Amino acid sequence: MRVATNSYTDSMLNQFSLLTARQNTLQNQASTGLSVQAPSDNPTAMQETLNDLAAKAAQTQYSNNISTLQTRAASTYNVLESLQSITSRASEIATSAGSTTNSQDTLNNYANEVQQLIQQAAQLINTQDPASGQYLFSGNNSTQPAYAFTQDATGNITGATYQGNIAEGAIANNYVPIAPGTYITIDVPGENTTNSGTRGLITDSASGADLFNHLIALQNDLTSGNTTAISGTDSDNLQKDENNLLYQVSNNGAVQNRLNIAAGFATSQSAALDQQISNSSSADLATTMVQLNQAQTAYQAALQSSAKIMQLSILDFLP
């Protein structure tokens, strides 16, 4: 007759189950490098890990937003720089052509060059963002070109009509989060005739800029030989366009600098979160291996003890 009872058997099986589970947990920690894989492992550590993972996901999105804005800002800057070259050349022409000593043939040559400048500006203002395909200067109406142009029978541009938003909220929906509670946009509307809010790139009533109309007026005055208008009105107007573009370039540079700083901060934040996640969820491999060896030893000892006890009978206890 065996000494073992059902009570002992149940207790033994329960102990084996606990030791097996402990071994499996430690083996998983050793193989994955993670100390927390289920809430039951360590509820507090699991909650901290989940919070850190959520913060890391948000930080990754902020970093992606910053990168997208940096690309868009660089594309915008290239346009601004090219428009600056156009207005600078137009001002040079106005200065040279304003003299009464120029022949009409010379003025006509200048007029042809100004038309080429207008064509270049028309192409630039309808630039699309290479990443999203959106038109850079249409405000919230970024799915269509910023400007539509009318042409004469020879293909010369004679008028420009803005197709984007011109009100204060023209770029309100284009603000993007780059950090918790921090939003930024690099977009500039092509036109703003409200005398307030974000300056328009081509037409801005507050600054007096109106690049296309001013270039077209210069071309018309060159063609008609109106040197008085060229040296006076046209030159003054083009100076307003140059000043507006200088402001736009400066503002773009400030935004790009802010994005660079934000990118650096985002990188450091991401690294800090990675470290926090590692601290709260990673297993200490050396300690884990020691504990695993102890669990395996305890399991083997339990097996051996159980085997011996199960073989005992009442005769073993008789004198």
| One-letter identity of residue 172 | A
Q: Tell me if 191 sits within 8 A of 203, measured CB to CB.
A: yes
Q: Residue 95's closest CA among 239, 226, 230, 240?
A: 230
- Cα distances (angstroms) measured from residue 55 to each of 8, 51, 68, 269, 279: 50, 6, 20, 10, 15
- Cα distances (angstroms) measured from residue 49 to each of 3, 22, 66, 139, 288: 49, 22, 25, 41, 19
Which band of pLDDT confidence, cut at 50, 70 and 90, is reported for residue 174? Answer: confident
Residue 169 or 87, more confident: 87
List, for residues 103-155, the tens digit of each pLDDT value: 999 999 999 999 999 999 999 999 999 888 999 999 888 899 999 999 999 99
The whole-model pTM stands at: 0.72
List, for residues 246-295, the tens digit of each pLDDT value: 999 999 999 999 999 999 998 888 888 778 777 665 554 555 555 556 65
For position 145, what pLDDT does the model report?
96
Mean pLDDT of 296-318: 58
Mean pLDDT of 77-85: 97
CB atoms within 10 A of CB 116: 12
- Alpha-carbon span 269 to 59, nearest angstrom: 7
Q: Which helix (H) or strand (E) holds 127?
A: none
204 forms beta bridges with 192, 209
- Alpha-carbon span 142 to 206, nearest angstrom: 23
For position 40, what pLDDT does the model report?
53
- Alpha-carbon span 262 to 266, nearest angstrom: 6
For position 296, what pLDDT does the model report?
62
For position 317, what pLDDT does the model report?
47
184 forms beta bridges with 176
End-to-end CA distance of the chain: 16
List, for residues 178-188, the tens digit of each pLDDT value: 999 999 988 89
